[in-house]
């Protein structure tokens, strides 16, 4: 079975929102104030000078076992057998937003004007014409790729194979098995859902994993403090004598 999904080279993303949001909204006429993707700021984290930060564009992960499909009461939300992409039949959608609540990746959004749900389809209308999705074509950093991850001869599969050991998926606690892939080689992958990480970082609740550099800096400061303490003790002893 084919499984089309987005592959993101996070190291190449510059956080411009030009392809993943602006081009998408223009091509798909996404409602004002809504977006089919979200750009997350993963950082900054670390201890100077060992700091890191990367951007993470997140859209529908085209899950193997999508919870959004399971909870839809009308069958409007379904996973297509031909390409593995999840679609919403807006003629059947009643706007109950059950799929939005069920999606652990916050990929579905509600169109208030039409009173129906909306989500990324990988620009199926463009793919039917043999073209790439709007976000892929317009990404300034060439960070986005869309294709069949189940086909070993596809460009996305070759890209994933070439970056083995640096390929990640979003944290999956619900058994959705997301098909989206993220490649990150120059930074450390943060194994948290992006919106949970941003909230924790903003509220000062993110616990920074201890890095080797931070440990070395602490030990260096401790050694210097011990040297100063020793010198001060010697001076006091000299004064007493």
Give me the pLDDT at residue 213, please. 47
pLDDT (tens digit per residue) in 168-211:
999 999 999 999 999 999 999 999 999 999 888 878 777 766 54
The pTM (predicted TM-score) of the whole model is: 0.84
CA 75 to chain centre: 28
Q: What is the DSSP string of the chain?
A: ---EEEEEEGGG--S--IIIIIIHHHHHTPPTT--S-EEEEEEEEEETTEEEEEEEEE-----SS-HHHHH-SSS-EEE-TTT--EEE-TTT-----HHHHH-TT---EEETTTTEEE---S-HHHHTTT---HHHHH-TT--EEEEETT-TTSHHHHHHHHTTTSEE----SSS-----EEE-SSS----S-HHHHHHHHHTT---PPPPHHHHHHHHHHHHHHHHHHHHHHHHHHHHH-
**How many alpha carbons fall within 13 Å on the CB side of residue 135?**
31
Give me the pLDDT at residue 23, please. 95
pLDDT (tens digit per residue) in 210-232:
545 444 554 565 566 666 667 76
Q: Determine the CATH number of domain 4-202.
A: 3.30.70.20
- How confident is the model over 150-170, as a mean pLDDT? 97
Q: How many CB atoms lie within 10 A of CB 106?
A: 12
- How confident is the model over 125-143, as a mean pLDDT? 97
> Alpha-carbon distance 234 to 181, whole Å?
61
Report domain extents, the chain: 4-202, 210-241
β pairing state of 77-79 and 86-88:
antiparallel
Give me the pLDDT at residue 214, please. 47
Give me the pLDDT at residue 210, please. 53
- How confident is the model over 111-127, as a mean pLDDT? 96
- How confident is the model over 5-17, as a mean pLDDT? 96
- How confident is the model over 2-7, as a mean pLDDT? 98
Give me the pLDDT at residue 224, please. 64
SS (H, E, C) 22-78: HHHHHHHCCCCCCCCCEEEEEEEEEECCEEEEEEEEECCCCCCCCHHHHHCCCCCEE
Omega before residue 70 within 30° of 0, cis: no
- How confident is the model over 5-21, as a mean pLDDT? 95
The rounded mean pLDDT for the chain is 90
Query: Bridge-partner residues for 79, per DSSP?
Result: 86
- Angle at 230 (CA atoms; ends 226, 234), nearest 5 degrees: 170
């Amino acid at each position: 079975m084919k499984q089309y999904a987005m592959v993101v080279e996070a190291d190449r993303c510059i956080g411009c929102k030009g392809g993943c949001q602006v081009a998408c909204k223009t091509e798909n006429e996404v409602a004002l104030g809504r977006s089919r993707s979200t750009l997350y700021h993963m950082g900054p984290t670390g201890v100077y000078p060992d700091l890191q930060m990367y951007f993470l564009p997140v859209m529908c992960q085209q899950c193997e076992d999508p919870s959004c499909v399971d909870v839809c009461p009308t069958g409007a939300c379904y996973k297509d057998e031909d390409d593995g992409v999840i679609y919403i039949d807006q003629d059947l959608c009643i706007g109950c937003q059950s799929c939005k609540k069920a999606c652990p990746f916050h990929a579905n959004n509600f169109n208030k004007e039409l009173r129906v749900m909306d989500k990324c389809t990988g620009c199926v209308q463009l793919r039917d014409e043999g073209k790439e999705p709007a976000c892929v074509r317009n990404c300034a950093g060439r960070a986005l790729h869309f294709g069949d991850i189940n086909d070993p001869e596809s460009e996305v599969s070759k890209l994933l194979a070439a970056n083995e050991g640096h390929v990640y998926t979003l944290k999956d606690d619900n058994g959705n098995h997301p098909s989206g892939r993220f490649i990150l080689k120059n930074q450390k992958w943060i194994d948290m859902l992006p919106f949970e990480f941003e909230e924790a970082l903003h509220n000062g609740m993110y616990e920074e994993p201890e890095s080797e550099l931070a440990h070395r800096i602490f030990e260096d400061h401790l050694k210097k403090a011990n040297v100063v303490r020793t010198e001060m003790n010697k001076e006091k002893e000299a004064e007493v004598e």
